[in-house]
Amino acid sequence: MLDRLAHAIERHCQGPWSETAVPRLSLVALDELMEPIDVTYEPMICFIADGAKRTVAGDRSWATPRGQMLLVTLDLPVTAAFEKVPYRAAVIRLDNRVLAAVQLELDEAGPPTPQPVTAEIAAPISPELVDAVTRWIQLLDTPEDIGPLAPRIESEILYRLLRSPLGPVLRHWSLADSAAARIRTTARWICDHYTEPLGIDEIAEVARMSPATLHRHFKAATGMSPLRFQKHLRLQEARRRLFAGDVTAAQAAQAVGYVSATQFNREYRRAYGLPPGQDAAHLRTRLDAAREVPVVHDGSPAKP
């Protein structure tokens, strides 16, 4: 069944990463190993039909091989490394309203069991989920069926996910005032304000937690403190701008919120191993050497 899913992904993936006409469905297909890339995940579930990927966020690292699904519960800046190819994956972006509607239909008694605040969790893909995700992708063969049938199949996928080992985390994630929801909201807020000077007290106010509680929950979820999370976002975006080749290091630093170019250069080198200009040149050289396997679009690294 996984081979059938991988084949469906391959047929409909235009390049390494493809958005599709099916709402909230994206496809990934890689045939050659590529350098690790920086990307910010949205809340999503990634179904890996072939290959393997390793993801690093702060102090945490996890591998997801063929036949596994990875749940990401909040906006999370990561480094993604593809460890085995061919790599085929289908990604469903989570919509809390759709998930809540499916959850209401389950009509389960009692509140969900409290879960640890975590940004990611992996589990095997059941045969029923493989079948549902494959049918979801195959709607791309008959575009006229997408409108009537895609929402129904998406609801089936979410129903089976709620019945899977990921179910308890998904239920907790969907609660409006849970610790997980507060951390998700806070991470999204930092993503929207990462170029601004932020303090831990201001971020704690957004989370409606004390600074100590925020730090504990945020570190458990993301592998990093809120301010390190912000710094990671800044460096990630500065690297993307430098890779595109239309700004200087000083301009990139200023654009992402750094006041001190010296601090930017120091933190950039610590994160990526080279000064900003040299790192960008090195990235472009690697790209030129692999032109026969395109891995970028519009000057920005491909998404995993």
Higher per-residue pLDDT: 58 or 29: 29
Cα separation, 167 vs 45, in Å, equals 12
CB 16 within 8 A of CB 295: yes
**pLDDT, mean of residues 101-110:** 71
Higher per-residue pLDDT: 191 or 303: 191
How many CB atoms sit inside 10 A of residue 157's CB? 22
**pLDDT, mean of residues 18-47:** 93
**Single-letter code of the amino acid located at 157:** I
Would you kindly state where each structural domain of the chain is located, as residue ranges? 2-174
Asked whether the bond before 86 is cis by omega within 30 degrees of 0, the reply is: yes
Assess whether pLDDT exceeds 80 at residue 102. Answer: yes
Of 78-87, 125-134, 162-171, 210-219, the range with the lowest mean pLDDT is 162-171
Prediction pTM value: 0.83
Query: Residue ranges of the alpha helices (H) in the chain?
Result: 2-12, 96-106, 127-138, 146-162, 167-174, 179-193, 200-207, 211-222, 226-244, 249-255, 261-272, 276-289
Identify the CATH number of the domain defined by range 2-174: 2.60.120.280
Q: Is 49 helix (H, G, I), strand (E, B) or coil?
A: strand
pLDDT tens-digit map of 170-217: 887 777 677 888 999 999 999 999 999 999 999 999 999 999 999 999
**Mean pLDDT across the chain, nearest whole number?**
88
